[in-house]
Every structure is written in structure tokens, then in C-alpha cells.
Amino acid sequence: MGDLVLTCTDDQSRNRRFGLAIGRGETAETAFAAIAQVVEGAATAREALRLALHHQVEMPITEQVDQVLHHGQNPRRAVEMLLARDPKPETV
């Protein structure tokens, strides 16, 4: 739990700094270069999407995160696409 709290709140967290940079409009490449260390969350998002596709599980947030981080999607556009989805139950 402590690791999660620190990742979300501590400015020394690589994942937090990376997310803030993306939120400011920096590209993933620029953010990676500025941090110059491994950002586990970016790799985890890609792997989570790979597993979701393999198991045919819809994960629209993860899909949009992957689009932003690895395919140049504008973060604002990613949020718009998520909010434009038709509401539906998220459980099976």
C-alpha cells in the first residue's frame, strides 16, 4: 500500500513524473529521456493490453493509455474517446 501511495504522490516517483509530463503535453519519448530511468507503468500498460487482447478482454482505458504512450495519441483525444463510449456494465 505504501508503494502505491508514494507512486501517486511523491515527486521522486518515476511513474508519477512520467504521467505529469504526459499531462503537460510532452511526448512519451521526451518524458522517457528526461527521467532517464525505467518507467515500469509504461511497460506494464503495454503488457496488460497484450494480455487483454490475447484473452479477448475489453480494456478501453488500457487501450487508450497504450495509444498515448506508444502511438502518439493526444491525451485529451484519448479521454474524449473514452467519454464518448456508450455506457455499459463493466462486469461479466
Burial of 35 (0-12, 13-18, 19+ CB in 10 A): middle
pLDDT, residue 88, reads 82
Distance between CA atoms of residues 18 and 33, nearest Å: 10
**How many domains does the chain divide into?**
1
Residue 14 lies in a domain: yes
CA of 90: how far to CAs of 22, 28, 44, 49, in Å?
27, 29, 21, 16
Tens of pLDDT, residue by residue, the chain (92 residues): 777 787 778 778 888 999 999 988 898 889 999 988 888 888 899 999 999 999 999 999 999 999 999 998 999 999 999 999 988 886 66
Domain hosting residue 47, numbered range: 2-83
pLDDT, residue 91, reads 67
CATH number for the domain spanning 74: value is 1.10.1040.10
pLDDT, residue 13, reads 85
